[in-house]
Structure 1
């Protein structure tokens, strides 16, 4: 609507865009009154700049006091989206701008350095792609951002940076730029817009009336047309009564002419909105407020129209507006409004309000957390921090509460705020209680000062055994890459009873150490782990505790089955995408170790889709799990997605080696076996050096054996398969034993090798995916030897592969089945087969559901899956199709 008659303006903007694509910078101001179409021009320019970095910001009157608020609007999405590496060199001077706790005073103190850093950051971005900085409502820019923009506009235009700002005429003078001033719409343009809005060609008198009352302002015209149904001449009086002509100037002038109590009421409504307390804020009785409302309505100042409220608020000087905001907050608080409603107002109020405001913000934050809105809670707590003394315990408590909220969306910031709070507490017990708010898993990449702080507090702690155990859990997790400190984990585990939450937390960390080092057998680790899990109720908050480590341990110890309902219940309660994604990553790992690759792949893809790997902190456990799934599945797309989401930060040696395994898997799927082998041998050296020997979580020996065979070195393949077998027997989990035994049998000739594969099939009886792979080897070798059982084993392997969702493996097995395609051998699950047989008997879905004691929805799901596998669409086709299907095994 607002781009009609804007061809010249768009031509100027497009020309500037072409120049910036050619490497030359420019600065443009789009200046004009409220509603003249400035924002539409910015949006049109953004649409034409798909090949550029387009950074946008909208200045706000309520955010004018937040230092560098506009700069943060522009750059925060870029830095959060994986470009934090730009904050190096000269651009690093801008880092304080993006610190969460940067107060206004300190922001002003580093103004010159920050300006230089922001300019350097902009140029660093432009070295990759041309940069467009699009800023709307510049008249409300915060002062530090304004100074930066002035400095930026004064720099030479030898970098591909285009700065385009939209502002009111009276505020455009501080930038030296090319100016665009959108002209008012002509009568012809108004006629076109009226016809678009109403679907009818307007009468000339109607168009003239619209032009008279709007003066060609697109926004005011839109306001008029919202009240019009017919663009005919008889509507002219109605249009004239709406009185939006030269609205901004007229509103201010008319407003100034009203009685004082009406003005106060209008200001109260502009600040507070349609709230019954507006009259009380204005200091009026109910009768006086009603009278003021009538006076304003009669004057055409209808306060329900946002544009009128904006004009009234604009007419107020800054100091007066802040005073009204302050009073509004107090009125809401004193009249018992919910804490979150008061807190939302406090966010907009610049001045301090005292103890009651801090308490209200804290209460609002607690409410927001309970309803699953941690980011809202964090905003309230950051606002509260502005009103408390810098070195007080009250600040420490707020920082701990803020860190608790941030665990849900920014674990790295959570660690920073906890460590900032600890020195402010007076007693060592308070400091310890604050430190244990940090999940052990968040400390794998924590800076050394954080680790030293935990050690110092632990050394000073008295007789509080609960806190001592929880601190020890954090200390030991940090040691997981130190073989000397890992060595006594199994022994220490025997000394812990697991009767308190602190003991169980320490048990989990010690169990992971015992699992990584394989110093305790899998069955012993599983027994202790399951006992711990039974005492921990499922909840989505478990993703911010040590419990993800326990899920990984149990799956690696072949005890994953009991974790499935536990994780299902936790996921059902999860509200935030981060929690959901982290639980999905755990579910993917569990499904893979239960032999359900189809479900594992689906959960892993959902986890990545939910952006779990934003890598701001406590996601290493999830990452290791997803990498293990990607390696087992050998899915190129999944491997690439997990690799691409890797954080740009230093990781402990063990985690770095797991990443190297993932790169090896990617190289192997691409056919680069030599590079993949080099990666794996490097991994093995690291794992052995730090004492990580678990063959299930870290199957590098099995993978290395396969790669040696693919490169033609069968002797080396057999050696590594034997090494994998030795480690698997040491750990004792059937999955590891069966997998290694199958690989060793594959590269051992004759009857001895065949016997190993047969034994692997038996060991892997509980894992359909791994058993299908072993059966494939067994069937292929038996058939090559002329044995009649080979075909039977291949058919069973195909059935298990299909049932587990391993489509790639099923296709391989189908090719072994005398060249048959996957569609020739159709296998239904036991539940699908049973439901299909009952349908053939003539039972309805409801009758089948009653007989099997399940829901009708479950019956529909089984039938849908069966129809898809059998290639049919109707129930009448089922008898013939079922006769061709392979019955499931008992």
Structure 2
């Protein structure tokens, strides 16, 4: 009857190499393909290539068994194996999962760079210091794991990863996506969500465990059944278990054998995981009362510390031998750690216990937890032991929140504050804590919960300042979640309310309102940029003391949109100077550097634009702030395109894309669009443009649309499609408030001139000339001179062309200098001055070709051929064979940077950098780092 394995499946296949009941691998019936995926992953790691695998499936489907197979196989192959299991009650403790995984590895932390070593020390509570960026911690973990893997190879197995705390989940996701050549394997087992939640660890290689085939399920049941089963009953159990291995293993053990013999009992239609959890509940409920209470204490404390369990159970008067019945029943295992047979055992024990018993267990655990070594866990247990409200427990949780925030655990701080709010008896204090919890939830990205807490806080009583802060937070949440058209107005209301209460915060809020209005641009509805600027100019409180960067930015931008461009220049230039000369790394610097870059573009200050963007990158790199690094990398890459350094720009854009993929956010398109447009990849550019416009329209962000249109206008000017260029340039030039007007106006002048729309070209040229005179920046003055040359004739035109070339030659904007040579050469050819035209066109073609701006280079080539000269093709260079990332690494090596230093900058392990270097050496035909200095790596 049940002895056959069926359909040619051998017992070796079913048991993973062993047979008979009691094998630890019997959950691997029918999992040959999954075992082979594990084996391939380990084989790659042995050869020096790291890898990641996500194992998904419903509860009880065999994920843990597959991880056990990976553990045993890796151990036999000589790998070091470290394990981590997520549990629901740990989700509130920031970095709890990482601490569990890395506790035994910290002896290698001394080998890490100082910032990474400090970051780990802070988040693990080993040292004091400012909260490190989450992704600096990720880099530190990657480096630590790579250090350990260097010796013997390392396999990290994470079970029930869906229950990791948010900080650990994010850090491990980052590390997994940056693996390269470390001989390191990460395997995550993730339970399928049943509530529509976003699945963690998406975008990685994965296998999905489905139900066992019927013949495999029958074989597993036959091996596991405590007694001989009637064939009909066996088939019914198989059918009702729906291929879930744990259900097949547990269902026969959940009732006496006689129950299964006749086949007459009432069908149970519960889903398999619920049914299995019920079986665990029934098995635990049959145990002695002392044993049940011991199980509950173990379920309430997921660290698995045997000593802690012993202290807590001793306080409850539970005898040490009380664990024996649970161990005999196969529910619990106590050796060096306390382990449940399956997470469903833990949840079954905890969920079905009476509330008073749960409070009793938590109270015992709080008393057993050392307040000096783990004050936060003690405070959490105390809070869970409270019935009703308790100010002392609430205050302890608030202190825990402060400690969690100092370690960078925003989600943990928010959870502590949320629970503290629930426990607070005084209404005013409860409202205050609810407001602080809402701020913490907002910082942690839990916007829905933050809004719920704001509603609780608003029920009050709040004082005037607290009420204004709540209003400001509500507007900020709205901006982050919807970019809604009402956000500038909401921020203006908050700024007005804050003015007499906190003038400094009020001025910052007015600047936030201007920022939101600039983002919305022409898509704003309700109070937009004109209203925001007028309110900031008339209603913002005066600053106290000398004006700082925020004050100058606020005054300059409000003046820009109330009194005009020229009137705003002194304040805006003062803001740029303050930010460029201030070497302190205060909070203002980090928050407003991006806005300063916007201002530098408005003023055509190319040096300030690059310095500020580059400074933002350096600050983000040094702090490991991957939350901000992609945006500033995107900015620097965009600037480098205009500098004519497209290869460097591509390397930074690739790095930005890799980081956004690693941290699970959408990539930024600005630099990629500019690279595609200026490099001559026109179809790619148009596809990117369409996507950018669609997404920006949905968000209500006209800035992004204007930037995309200005880029496509430049592309069409390069192609000689002047009417199309004019169509795209009109939009951003009509948006008075946008910085992109500064770069779109030159495109409009060229396109309108060549399309015969001379009136529009003259108007744009006059506007550009007025504004650039006010700014005084050579870049802007050079663009204006070129614009005047395009609309002029005779000697006047030539004078302006020469002026443009001289002024642009004093800037870093190489593409615009090359374009000035191009349009001057075109003018000379039309004037019949062929020899002089050849000289200018040859210069333009050589510069544009070397930069890789293919459309304009081809346009220069066509003009040069028209003079009778055949343009020379660019000579191939050995470095052409390098990828953008390899070229980036080569440049860093040529400056003397070590593999460890390069890895820290690019968020890769040193071993991965060495693997890239081997490829670089092979492509260039060299054998040492010193030889890289002999190549042109610009």
State which drifts further: 388-397 or 409-418: 409-418
1:752 partnered with 2:752 = no
Match of 2:556 in 1: 511
User: Aligned runs of 1:128-139 on 2, under 5 Å?
Assistant: none
Cα offsets for 1:69-113 (capped at 9, x unmatched): xxxxxxxxxxxxxxxxxxxxxxxxxxxxxxxxxxxxxxxxxxxxx
1:645 partnered with 2:695 = yes
Match of 1:824 among 875, 882, 887: 875
Q: CA shift at 1:307, angstroms?
A: 3.6
User: Aligned runs of 1:709-858 on 2, under 5 Å?
Assistant: 709=753, 711-713=755-757, 716-765=760-809, 766=811, 767-782=813-828, 785-786=832-833, 788=835, 790-791=837-838, 793-794=840-841, 796-797=843-844, 800-801=847-848, 806=853, 809-810=856-857, 813=860, 818-820=869-871, 822-824=873-875, 854-855=896-897
Match of 2:748 among 687, 701, 704: 704
User: Aligned runs of 1:337-736 on 2, under 5 Å?
Assistant: 338=374, 341=377, 354-388=390-424, 392-404=428-440, 406-407=442-443, 409=445, 424=460, 426-431=462-467, 445-447=485-487, 450-451=490-491, 453-454=493-494, 456-458=496-498, 461=500, 465-467=503-505, 469-470=507-508, 473=511, 481=528, 483=530, 486=533, 499=546, 503-514=548-559, 517-520=564-567, 522=569, 525-535=572-582, 537-538=584-585, 545-557=591-603, 558=605, 559-575=608-624, 577-588=626-637, 590-591=639-640, 596=645, 598-600=647-649, 603=652, 635-646=685-696, 648-650=698-700, 677=726, 680-681=729-730, 683-687=732-736, 692=737, 697-709=741-753, 711-713=755-757, 716-736=760-780
Cα offsets for 1:538-575 (capped at 9, x unmatched): 478855x3442223213443122432452133211455
1:269 partnered with 2:298 = yes
1:540–1:573: 8 Å Cα contact kept in structure 2?
no
SS at match of 2:609: coil
User: Normalization by structure 1: what TM-score?
Assistant: 0.57
Cα offsets for 1:491-517 (capped at 9, x unmatched): 9999868637xx532222223345664
Cα offsets for 1:176-196 (capped at 9, x unmatched): xxxx999685655789x99xx
Cα offsets for 1:457-486 (capped at 9, x unmatched): 246x16x65455445545666787555874
Q: CA shift at 1:278, angstroms?
A: 2.0
Cα distance between partner residues in 2 of 1:186 and 1:458: 67
2:715–2:855: 8 Å Cα contact kept in structure 1?
no
**Residue 312 and residue 804 in structure 1: after superposition, are their counterparts in 2 closer, same or farther (change >3 A)?**
closer
Q: CA shift at 1:339, angstroms?
A: 5.3
Match of 1:280 in 2: 311
**Residue 264 and residue 436 in structure 1: after superposition, are their counterparts in 2 closer, same or farther (change >3 A)?**
closer
1:567–1:587: 8 Å Cα contact kept in structure 2?
no
Q: CA shift at 1:370, angstroms?
A: 3.7
User: Aligned runs of 1:216-235 on 2, under 5 Å?
Assistant: 219-220=245-246
1:873 partnered with 2:907 = no
Q: CA shift at 1:521, angstroms?
A: 7.0
State which drifts further: 723-732 or 776-785: 776-785
1:271–1:325: 8 Å Cα contact kept in structure 2?
no
1:827–1:887: 8 Å Cα contact kept in structure 2?
no
2:277–2:348: 8 Å Cα contact kept in structure 1?
no
1:339–1:361: 8 Å Cα contact kept in structure 2?
no
Cα distance between partner residues in 1 of 2:388 and 2:677: 55
CA RMSD of aligned residues (A): 6.4
SS at match of 2:297: helix
Cα distance between partner residues in 1 of 2:322 and 2:918: 70
Cα distance between partner residues in 1 of 2:902 and 2:625: 31
* Greater relative CO (CA pairs within 8 A, separation 6+): 2
Cα distance between partner residues in 2 of 1:740 and 1:595: 20
Cα distance between partner residues in 2 of 1:876 and 1:491: 66
1:388–1:394: 8 Å Cα contact kept in structure 2?
yes
Q: CA shift at 1:530, angstroms?
A: 1.6
User: Aligned runs of 1:183-198 on 2, under 5 Å?
Assistant: 185=216
**Residue 393 and residue 663 in structure 1: after superposition, are their counterparts in 2 closer, same or farther (change >3 A)?**
farther
Match of 1:324 among 358, 376, 386: 358
Cα distance between partner residues in 1 of 2:798 and 2:840: 13
Q: CA shift at 1:385, angstroms?
A: 4.0
1:555–1:593: 8 Å Cα contact kept in structure 2?
no
SS at match of 1:739: helix
Match of 1:335 among 370, 382, 401: 370
Cα distance between partner residues in 2 of 1:585 and 1:887: 21
User: Normalization by structure 2: what TM-score?
Assistant: 0.55
2:566–2:771: 8 Å Cα contact kept in structure 1?
no
**Residue 708 and residue 644 in structure 1: after superposition, are their counterparts in 2 closer, same or farther (change >3 A)?**
same
1:436–1:470: 8 Å Cα contact kept in structure 2?
no
Cα distance between partner residues in 1 of 2:568 and 2:215: 81
Q: CA shift at 1:732, angstroms?
A: 2.9
SS at match of 1:499: coil
State which drifts further: 867-876 or 474-483: 867-876
Match of 2:322 in 1: 292
Q: How many residues align?
A: 665
SS at match of 2:627: helix
SS at match of 1:505: helix
Q: CA shift at 1:761, angstroms?
A: 1.5
Match of 1:174 in 2: none
| Unaligned 5+ runs, structure 2 | 1-13, 15-26, 32-57, 66-86, 92-189, 198-208, 251-274, 519-527, 881-886, 907-914
2:432–2:457: 8 Å Cα contact kept in structure 1?
yes
Cα distance between partner residues in 2 of 1:3 and 1:673: 66
Cα distance between partner residues in 2 of 1:467 and 1:672: 49
Cα offsets for 1:143-202 (capped at 9, x unmatched): xx9xxxxxxxxxxxxxxxxxxxx99xxxxxxxxxxxx999685655789x99xxxxxxxx
